[in-house]
Structure 1
Amino acid sequence: MKTFINTIISSSLAIVLTATTAFAGTTPSPIRGENAKFNSISVQGNVEVTVKQGSRSSIAYSEDNTGSVKVTECGGKLCISTKGNEQAKVTVYVKDLFRIQAADHAVVKTEGKIETKFLQLFLSDYAQATINSTTDGLYTVLKDHANLSLSGATKDHALVMGHTPSLSMNQFAALKTSTQSLAEYSATYALSK
């Protein structure tokens, strides 16, 4: 039987949820309802996030989840994190997605193809992402030991990458690709501040 604990909805529209779970069912248990309005996802810790495109934005525990997560929503950003060693698994349903940020040992994957005008992917530490998307513009920044596997297509792909990340684009097509080293990106970013 699936269990979960919903907590406070603050006056600033931030949602804080701490959940512990023990699952044995067949359907995901909702964490955040259909009123969620986010187009950016930030994932940190030992959590696996499956992203599906749908008519509404929401988040639910995956069927095989055994961990706990903390979810906050502020403006258009959904933040998902864990603190324990046990991996938590959640499914995020998005209507329109603009950005994915993943750090630590986070795993982000899409189920089906995500179709959006522009998509930004920021991966650092040991984060992994498997993204299937169709976009007009794709912007990716890979740091540390991050691992990104892309499939789908884009018109314009801007890639910023350090020396140690891993990138696979076997099933990916881009009409135009521009690359920049992480050192060049950092120098440009520092000058813009």
Structure 2
Amino acid sequence: MQITSEALERAIEELAKLPGTGRKSAQRIAIHLLKQTDEHVSKLADALIQLKKSVTRCSVCGTITDTDPCSICSNHKRMNGVVCVVEEFQDVYIIEKTNEFRGRYHVLGGTISPLENIGPDDIRIKELLDRIADEDESIEEVILALNPDAEGEATSYYINKLLKNYEIEITRIAYGIPMGTELEFIDEATLSRAFASRTSF
């Protein structure tokens, strides 16, 4: 195939690296951007640059934020004694949409996965234990809201075992959520019911 534009080909290659975007989708996006005004494309480029420059991780919970600590950790109206443990920062957004949970969060940044050489020291379990030991946080309940897959289950059991040494309640969201499904793909009503009917670990 004769390439008529090296710039277009490079844009397609970079866009194709995005999750869920194959070469055909990348080509459609690149051609769509070519048809837009310079101002429109510049705004998109600026937004992406600002995304990388401005967004950081909350030093308390580990979610993404523009300010540190994040708006949830610094909100005095949130329940201070209840922490919901999730895998990734996008899970915080999904749970927040339900308006069911009014506590705080702890983002692990992944799960234990021996096949991918990810152990307990590679995710934010130590930081969770530090928060529980911190008397200022006064944590009374930890809710495990990890994805119901093999890695999520293994991580939940590992954390549960560690937390048995502390005088706190350990719960998990109820399994109205099908096994093998990630929180990202659960509808809000199902997730809301799962939180309302959570049980002891």
Taking structure 2 as the reference length, what is the TM-score of the superposition?
0.28
Normalized per residue, the structure richer in strand is: 1
Taking structure 1 as the reference length, what is the TM-score of the superposition?
0.29
Normalized per residue, the structure richer in helix is: 2
